[in-house]
Chains A and B, each alone.
Chain A
């Protein structure tokens, strides 16, 4: 591990010297430092900034402090009552021990688990720009089918972020408010988000949502595995027709994938399996799978229809 200095942040303001990075729960960053993937000179600990509160917003939503631990957020009474999709997504992620450490802000900013990114002895455009992407020809079963670049097919690993994407969350930083859908960028493989260096996520606002909600995660074993595919959904049905729907897909893209095309297709349509499948097909029409991850297309299609059917 590269030698670094450590200090505690005293205020939730942005600004960091070059080579410095924020440290919260450390469940991803510290691993990457051990592997030599991340090599910060300075760690600035933000866990003592008082960002650990969950508060109700006047309009009925929630403001979640960036330092709120995943396990606390999943168990919070307001989350369980008003945003079960968020609670379910959090509990589907990682392990109990990791959820006890991991924070809301850190969860959003975790890096891809693409095997080549995690192994500094291999090329990776995200880790070393211009070095190449072995995943495209190599192991990409778990990687992106939607919105991928030619030079990077990484997926975002978070479950929580998929639920927040469906809920239309807004990320508050030390400088501005960013809709979650705009937090992640595909501008270059090595740039994950639009955050400036030293810009600190302070909280996440979750607006109220209509209808019933669910998160469903497909994984290779029953726990402690990243998603092969996942769906976060909220669905409101009146008189057999879809009046409101929010849909996001996980493990299919470099970001939690808000399925806006599917949502648009569904609004006003009968809440039937046929409609749900048609909506999934509309969203997945743009899918460009690779040799070994084409199964994610029918899998995600099944999943979308199944989750929405359960909610209808």
Chain B
């Protein structure tokens, strides 16, 4: 019997529910364990001259650039920790206190005196910022600009045009488990219990910083309480914990407090997006222009690929996308679930909704009319796209038919009610990985790969894949992941985990069966390099909202996603990925915002009381369904990545529903009541 496609429960579920599962800060590492607390810069720009600790508090160590060990250069300037007195943003780590208890470390850190020469700073992204420039590429390697045809001429000629600017705020990753590391040295060998999305990558990066051979660093990442991209690369806490352990000769535990996660581990850049659409009177696009502005830090150029998604969604003879960036005295933005696609589809899919209104067309019909015959960017044939089917079948399941297209028509008591739709897409990729399978005898097998399960269900899915390939029940397969010393695997990011690791596991299992060997290690590099580029998963999001006419409060009554993501390997964990992404999209549409105090260069709402993510009561009805399609060319499993597509398009569907309910078009997220109320 095939187990792939069955709704297996997470193998580690009972361990997690009972508390037996160990996270990075929960390993017993000895009685001499010490705790570290990061001292963060209270100013956004300046030079740290001296650090004075309160002698009465007597910590084990206070590290700063005046006394910290020298580190080797890293590709990531954020990891040059305590190496210089230059302060590049508020919240930057400028000192580290190590003490016998967490409370003592924290207290000593609070009482540290920092002697800082503060300098004027610049913290605000704006469309006319003088520092804006076009980066060479946008994350991870896309050209910053593309252009086909003559967009300006086409816009000038177009009978119907939309010219709108959408703004999204800084958004902050808040996995339930904060970034955390327990570090201990044994001679020159370093062990890190670390919360991350790529144990092998963290081992290599941290090893390089300390001048170690990769074999001298062991990263254990058995369980991770969420990452969303913020744990994709080595975090400052890993380097700081290792440094503190080195200096004190003790195991050191460093857990970032929630407040520090708003500045020290990346965030989604704010964006300012101007979208211009030109169309014929019957809604056929003649011009598409998407120009995105975002920010990065002084330390590192991270250029969010906000407009890249527009290159693949809709066809038009004249198309242009561009990105500009400015460097501010603010923390470095990084990956947050669907970087690029999530904010970019707010601009594109809300603008498409506005175009549908301008053309007097149903928004689904508008999208169908602009479905390309080939990929709009590359001109390559479309493979397993299914976007129109997602729109059509999703509309049927959601109950779209008969919708009055006019806004502000449906009211029940104090509630205005409306519905909205938006498309979703995410690239389909696999990365090289290596897996090892051992025949343990008695039809039992062990599969090992340095993959990591950040809550997605990866551990379970890989077991299912291996069981099918080996022709045994899942109970006879033991999976080992979450350890950098296992065969090298790619990162849990970019919705690539199952495809990349599953490919390697499949290859190893097939070779074992074909050869009869007792142990096979399979490197997928060669076969992965043959995968077709430019593939995407698609979906459609539908939302029903109600808006209180008295207060402007928005509640999402229904949220539904219809997906075409190849073969679904495990419907239970897949559904969790989809609806989790959609709920995160709800947060983006309605609640989440890093509130900047420009004078301080700080997001002042830096905790979960101030930074609102959806609470249970906000999630009334959320569901996902998918087409029974496979993409046999994508990878041996026929699957596509599903970790991110849920957040792509769900914010736009909600915002479009807010307009339909009220007639109020919110173009600067989140759609809070104070922005809606004046229009009611």
- Could you list which residues of chain A lie within 8 angstroms of chain B, going by C-beta atoms? 1-3, 34, 36, 113, 115-116, 118-122, 134, 137-139, 141, 218-226, 228-229, 295, 298-299, 302-303, 306
| Supplied contacts A295-B673, A295-B678, 4 more A-B pairs, CB within 8 Å | A137-B599, A220-B673, A221-B615, A299-B552
A-B pairs with beta carbons under 8 Å apart, 10 shown: A36-B107, A115-B610, A116-B604, A119-B606, A222-B555, A222-B617, A222-B618, A224-B617, A302-B677, A303-B550
Residue among A134, A141, A222, A306 with the highest chain B CB neighbour number at 10 A:
A222
Assess the A302–B106 pair: CB atoms within 8 A: no
CB–CB B599/A228 < 8 A = no
Question: Is B605 in the interface zone, CB < 8 Å from A?
Answer: yes
Quote the shortest CB–CB distance from B16 to chain A (angstroms): 20
Smallest CB gap from B257: residue in A? A34
B618 and A134 contacting across the interface, CB-CB below 8 Å? no
List chain B residues, Cβ under 8 A from A141: 595, 674
What secondary structure prevails in chain A residues at the interface with B?
Answer: loop
Residue of B nearest to A222 (CB): B617
CB contact under 8 A between A36 and B615, given known A1-B103, A218-B673, A299-B673 = no
CB of B110 within 8 A of chain A? yes
For A302, list chain B residues within 8 Å (CB): 550-551, 677
B615 touches A220 (CB 8 A): no
The contact of B553 among A134, A137, A219, A226, by CB within 8 Å, is: A219
Q: Across the interface, do A221 and B614 meet the contact criterion of CB distance under 8 Å?
A: yes
Provide the bound-state CA to CA distance between A120 and B678, in Å: 35
Interface range on chain B: under 10, 10 to 19, 20 to 34, or 35 or more?
A: 35 or more
Asked if B558 lies at the interface with its beta carbon under 8 angstroms from chain A, I say: no
A-B contact count (CB 8 A): 93
Across-interface contacts of B550 in A (CB, < 8 A): 302-303, 306
> Contact: A226 with B609, CB < 8 Å?
yes
A91, chain B: closest CB distance, angstroms: 12
* Nearest neighbor of B604 in chain A, beta-carbon distance: A115
A228 to B673, CA, bound (A): 9
Closest to A138 in B: B597
Q: Is the CB of A295 within 8 A of B615?
A: no
- Find B605's partner among A1, A115, A120, A298 (CB 8 Å cutoff): A115
Residues of A within 8 A of B672 (CB): 220
Q: Which of B110, B591, B599, B674 contacts A138 (CB 8 A)?
A: B599
Q: How far is the CA of A306 from the CA of B106 in the complex (A)?
A: 48
Contact partners of B599 in chain A: CB under 8 A: 134, 137-138
Residue of B nearest to A94 (CB): B609
Interchain CB contact under 8 A, B614 and A306: no
Residues of B with C-beta under 8 A to A228: 673-674
**Which residues of the partner chain A approach B42 to less than 8 Å between Cβ atoms?**
121-122
Q: Is the CB of B617 within 8 A of A223?
A: yes
Residues of B within 8 A of A298 (CB): 677-678
CB distance from A75 to the nearest CB of B (A): 19
What residues on B are CB-neighbors of A223 within 8 Å?
Answer: 615-618
> B residues within 8 A CB of A113?
609-610
Distance from A257 Cβ to chain B, minimum over Cβ atoms (Å): 18
Which 6 residue pairs are nearest across A and B when measured between Cβ atoms? Answer: A222-B617, A223-B617, A295-B674, A138-B597, A115-B604, A1-B103
